[in-house]
Amino acid sequence: MRELAVAPSGVERRMPANELIVSKTDTKGLITYANDVFQRVAGYSEDQLVGKPHNIVRHPDMPRAVFKLLWDTLEAGQEIFAYVNNLASDGAHYWVFAHITPSRDAHGRTIGYHSNRRAPAPDAVAVVRDLYAVLRAEERRAAHSPDGLAASTRLLQETLDSRGQSYDDFVWSVTP
| CATH number, domain containing residue 45 | 3.30.450.20
Q: Is residue 16 part of a domain?
A: no
Q: Is residue 7 part of a domain?
A: no
Q: Is residue 31 part of a domain?
A: yes
Q: Is residue 166 part of a domain?
A: yes
What integer is the mean pLDDT of 91-107? 98
Calpha distance 74→103 (Å, rounded)? 10
Q: Is residue 106 part of a domain?
A: yes
Q: Can you name the residues that pair with 25 across neighbouring β-strands? A: 31, 113
Residue 125 has pLDDT above 70, yes or no: yes
Looking at the structure of the chain, the number of domains it has is: 1
Residue 76 has pLDDT above 80, yes or no: yes
Calpha distance 140→143 (Å, rounded)? 5
Query: What is the model's pTM?
Result: 0.92
Q: Is residue 134 part of a domain?
A: yes
Task: Name the band, by pLDDT with cuts 50, 70 and 90, for residue 148.
Answer: confident
For 9-61, what is each residue's pLDDT tens digit? 999 999 999 999 999 999 999 999 999 999 999 999 999 999 999 999 999 99
Helix, strand, coil fractions of the chain, as percent rounded to 5: 40, 25, 35
